[in-house]
Structure 1
Amino acid sequence: MNISWDAEGYERGFSFVPAYGAGVIDLIDVRPGEKCLDLGCGNGTLTAELAARGLAAFGMDASPEMAALARERHPELRFEVGDATSFSLDEPVDVVFSNAMLHWIDARLQPSALACVAAALRTGGQFVFECGGHGCGERIHAALARAFAARGLDYVMPFYFPTIAGYAPLVEAAGLRVTDAFLFDRPTRLEGPDGMADWIRMFVKRPFEGLGAGLADELIAAAVDDLRTDSNLLRDGAWYADYVRLRMRAVRVA
């Protein structure tokens, strides 16, 4: 799951990630003063929003670079480095919140992550999250797969994008009761004329591991050229990512 992040580049060019995440917070039944873990907190923008809404929020991220940036941006809040598939807390919290993190975890490790979430919550505590859902980035990943195949390479999908029907049973097997679940398209505008190439470089890292920089650039350029004819992704000179989001709220029952 862990990758090395260009934390400040992420903050500059991809601020839409926490911006959209603010809407996920609306799904929390907020009770002022309750303890909230922002799991996969990134640069801490949403941790600060959770605190502004009255929660005693703190953040955790697997990336030391992101945690350091969060501390720099929000010195009044606490941020820790921790892996979502193996973390534990000294005492339970009332809310675990997560935005755009779970899809980074391999399918085989999803039960471990959900078990950690359940263990971190008090009975009756809320787990509210959004992640990529089934079909997210489908056109982009298909173009990358074609570019890899044309050069005799295999493209291995680096994300886990579940359906509601596939994920809700995993959540409930961890001891949580799903109360709300949504799967929806959210085309997302990317910044600048090179927005698609920049998006691939920022987020699609694992398939390029072990490849030289020159070959990586060639593959990205080929995929971007392929996508230029897709009017869903390039409209009026602006690039869009074909995002699909899975949003859920669940409550710990025991």
Structure 2
Amino acid sequence: MKKDSWNAALYDAKHSFVSKFGEHLLDLLEPKKGERILDLGCGTGDLAWKLYELGVDVVGIDKSENMINQAKAKYPGLTFEVKDVLNLGYRNEFDAVFSNAVLHWIKPPKQALINIYQALKENGRFVAEFGGKGNVKTITDAIRNEFNQLGMNEKANQFPWYFPSIGEYSSLMEEAGFRVVFA
């Protein structure tokens, strides 16, 4: 098993802007009181808490045990679980799935989308924001160039991220069963 390298305290201290920027997605999500919503990649729980404040039954999941422990400490009344989107196991349980700044970390993306689709009730909603095509391109191009110059060509494309175009990801969503209405 891969070591959990996420530092939840550092994340809250230096990267809380990620949750702040994600707040506008709640408007797109249009949560309704009493709905059951999955916060996929909930991090330290800040947006799950905002959903709870809106009267939602929210379940926050993250692959990082460090992040989930921090979320549980901050918001002890909420449900948080260590779970990988590639092994969700939910079936027809949620009115909506919400994800902020996570899906560019998930490979293979199609399996994640199939699992998200299966987690939703009929006519469920999925709202997500994540890095797209061209994101951090200057950085990744520089790293690839350095690897190539060092003769490490096999390493040149081994990045932890997936930055698809809108068209590419929309096609994957439709293959998984979604009807894309806004991207």
Q: Scaled by the length of structure 1, what TM-score is found?
A: 0.66
How far residue 149 of structure 1 moved from its aligned partner, in angstroms, is 3.8
Look up the equivalent residue of 2:166 and give its one-letter code. I
Residue 115 (structure 1) aligns with: 114
Separation of aligned partners in 1, 2:31 and 2:46: 18
Residue 134 (structure 2) aligns with: 135
Match runs of 1:85-234 below 5 Å: 85-89=86-90, 92-106=93-107, 109-153=108-152, 154-155=155-156, 156-181=158-183
Residue 10 (structure 1) aligns with: 11
Q: Is there any run of 5+ residues in structure 2 with no aligned partner, and where?
A: none
Number of matched pairs: 178
Q: Does residue 25 of structure 2 align to residue 24 of structure 1? A: yes
Look up the equivalent residue of 2:62 and give its one-letter code. D
Match runs of 1:235-250 below 5 Å: none
Separation of aligned partners in 2, 1:124 and 1:91: 10
Residue by residue over 1:149-195, the C-alpha shift from the partner in whole angstroms, topping out at 9 and shown as x without a partner, is: 444434333210011110111111111111111xxxxxxxxxxxxxx
Separation of aligned partners in 2, 1:166 and 1:94: 25
Deviates more, 1:169-178 or 1:64-73: 169-178
Deviates more, 1:165-174 or 1:88-97: 88-97
User: Which structure is higher in helix share?
Assistant: 2
How far residue 91 of structure 1 moved from its aligned partner, in angstroms, is 5.7
Separation of aligned partners in 2, 1:90 and 1:71: 24
Separation of aligned partners in 2, 1:61 and 1:44: 9
Give the SS at the match of 2:52.
Answer: helix
Residue 50 (structure 1) aligns with: 51
Separation of aligned partners in 1, 2:92 and 2:116: 12
Residue 196 (structure 1) aligns with: none
Identity score, percent: 40
Deviates more, 1:37-46 or 1:11-20: 11-20
Q: Is there any run of 5+ residues in structure 1 with no aligned partner, and where?
A: 182-254
Look up the equivalent residue of 2:99 and give its one-letter code. S
Separation of aligned partners in 2, 1:131 and 1:62: 16
Separation of aligned partners in 2, 1:175 and 1:152: 42
How far residue 30 of structure 1 moved from its aligned partner, in angstroms, is 2.1
Give the SS at the match of 1:179.
Answer: coil
Residue 84 (structure 1) aligns with: 85
Q: Scaled by the length of structure 2, what TM-score is found?
A: 0.90
Relative distance call for 1:169 and 1:90 in structure 2 (3 A) is closer
Greater RCO (CA < 8 Å, at least 6 residues apart): 1
